[in-house]
Amino acid sequence: MMVSPPKRASRKSSWISLGQANPRADPGVGVGAVLLERLDRGWRCLGTGLFLAVIGLGGSFLALTVFPVIVLFVRDPLARQRRIQSVIRASFKLYCAAIQAFRVADIEVIGAEQLEQLRGALVIANHPSLLDVVMIMAALPHAQCVVKAGLLRHPFFRLTVQGAGYIPNDLEPEALMAACVATLRAGNNLIVFPEGTRTIKGHWKPFHRGFANIATLARADVQLLRIDCEPSALHKGNPWWKVAERRTVFRLTVGQCLDIRQFLDQQYRSVAVRKLVSFIETHYREVLGHG
């Protein structure tokens, strides 16, 4: 009796990318759902690039149009600084609203009302993504920060940096410390990331002591912020075009505001600095799950 040879398996190539389920094998996943998922992910990738470009283009536009008008008509330096800070804050609010409206990412701020009356405080936060400073400056009045000195030589951004009173990072250590203390005593809120740079999820970086030296010298209260980014995006070591399978949620949570006086009951300021750093490091280790 002759036995017919076994049939060869079909070599049809799959039209579904790696990591996607075959809708024919899974009745719960239709072709339309797969296509919509791909379109959503592609749009978020394109949108991320567009919104990153808008930061530079928008800053240049303000520096060429709005800020020169403020400089021309507002003579008082402090009033001019406040006006420019307000424009930057409003611009970042609009920027965050647009990111959400175009469904590139979701942005949530919890407890923003606690920041409205904040004056002369050192504002510190963890730093998981490129969007962190934008979210903080959109929520924080009278925001100040330390910026790259190269921006002072930029033809467009120089007016923005000088007008808003931002502090260049190329000052001598003593001068940098004095500038930070002065801006806090003038009623501005100074943003500092104690880790010094963006962090990678699951990796803990010890805090630098610079923020604690500033707080104790200026006798400034310390406002704690927590930033969550889930799933991770725009973090260190990850190209911007590598977007997650689902839309990222950036969440800014306003925490407690520490009365600096509770850390100044020490004989030496160096002891107060170590005490403050230890307290805040422990706090962030616990809330971020590194404890």
Residues 149-163: tens digit of each pLDDT: 888 888 778 888 888
Do residues 221 and 260 touch, judged by C-beta distance below 8 A? yes
Summarize the confidence of residues 239-260 as an average pLDDT.
94
3-state helix, strand, coil in the chain (%, to 5): 45, 15, 40
User: Residue 192 — φ and ψ, nearest 5°?
Assistant: -140, 135
What angle in degrees, to the nearest 10, is found between the helix axes of 173-185 and 210-218? 50
Nearest to 41 by CA among 209, 191, 241: 241
What's the pLDDT band for 2 if we cut at 50, 70, 90?
very low
- Among 16-20, 159-163, 195-199, 237-241, the range scoring the smallest mean pLDDT is 16-20
End-to-end CA distance of the chain: 73
The whole-model pTM stands at 0.85
Summarize the confidence of residues 91-110 as an average pLDDT.
96
What pLDDT is recorded for position 8?
47
What pLDDT is recorded for position 283?
93
- CA within 13 Å, CB half, 217: 16
What pLDDT is recorded for position 27?
52
Which of the pair, 255 or 152, is modelled with greater confidence? 255
